[in-house]
Structure 1
């Protein structure tokens, strides 16, 4: 069983070596690693020049966004399974081995994933759920409202499913990854191992200021393609949840303008929920803190 691993990089010179070394030190070694530098201005992947490992390929492109970078990395490989890792995160040494076991035991899935931990300014917490057993996930959309089953540093996708979806949507800056997970889970099953095997590092990102005024792509896409909701009520509720969570985020940041843009998008999907969400961007901070706890 062979994997293609894609690491998109944009101005992550201080962390990309850590991410790459966590891949190259995996206990399971049958993979190809593609690092795509998306026009970094900080020397991006220069730290990788001294690595002598035939499994590593580094490519550079003009700055085109993370979707294009991921799609580029995917196009370079031919393996049946594609893994993604952000350049500021890292895998435990047994991550791929856990994925191999998961695929062997549950071969009908489109998505494979594990639990993870979050390191935020040195404070570490596990993100997993003892209530979710190892195996096929019963209702991915419902569970994803309370547990982060999939993210862009621990997901493994079947290539044929990713190809059928059309890859990551170019030019999209918010929710491009969520869109892919949602579409893949719609087509086939999701298999999950609650064991923690990935570390996600949370840190300040200047780019978040720009993205805070943008509508998450799943909200836009599924508002235009409502046929997906036929017989899939939990999918609709999950997309609404994504929209509401981003409105709350705008409110917590005191960004009325960005929040209003997101409220209008939510109205198009669910008029009454969108109308309610308008009041989220203007209430007192204590209420916003309470709402934040509800959507974690």
Structure 2
């Protein structure tokens, strides 16, 4: 099927990035959130990214304006009534996502694909609340979306081949690299990444080394662009905890148990960069 009109749900860091790359690729984009201030914050981030591209000569001011003009504000899910695909990028919570998908199933056209940007939750379980599980799929973008090339495309148990092929073709049009992944907790990216981060937190918790030393070992010894504790702060410690809990519950193996220090920081509201404090303090 041909995809021309896209709705992105959630104007946060991930949602605004997805909206930006869709608009850059020529799609008409409806960016939905619950409040106008959330939309304005998201469109502000998109405009800032595009202005940086203009300054560096990667695109013109006219191109920037054309991209922004392809993005329309939405404060009502009813606006999904005339789109070809919805990409949900709301909070990483099963109840929230199922609630959104139930409503989308009633609103979106019969041909529309319902995609979720979940980083760890089962696609099949999300699809089960709809009457169109064959048209539900995972599109897990990496952060920051405008920069990172990978998109994990996750089939649910019932996802049709035609739906997968349409989403794969759309992903390539976004100048991203699609990788097909089966529906297991954490998929590939977070099943490997988050246990590494969790082990780094255990290393700090057990007093093996300081946070700076742990990050330096992984940067200088393993050639990682940033250390695992810095990366955890960037992802959000609440998100890290939620993914570890999803892995632990879904796979039933004690190696996925979240570190007590991670739980303590989240309980204290030390969520990383977004809250001003995590393993490091941010101005």
The two structures have a TM-score, normalised by structure 2, of 0.30
More strand as a share of residues: 1
User: Which structure has more RCO (C-alpha within 8 Å, separation ≥ 6)?
Assistant: 1
The two structures have a TM-score, normalised by structure 1, of 0.29
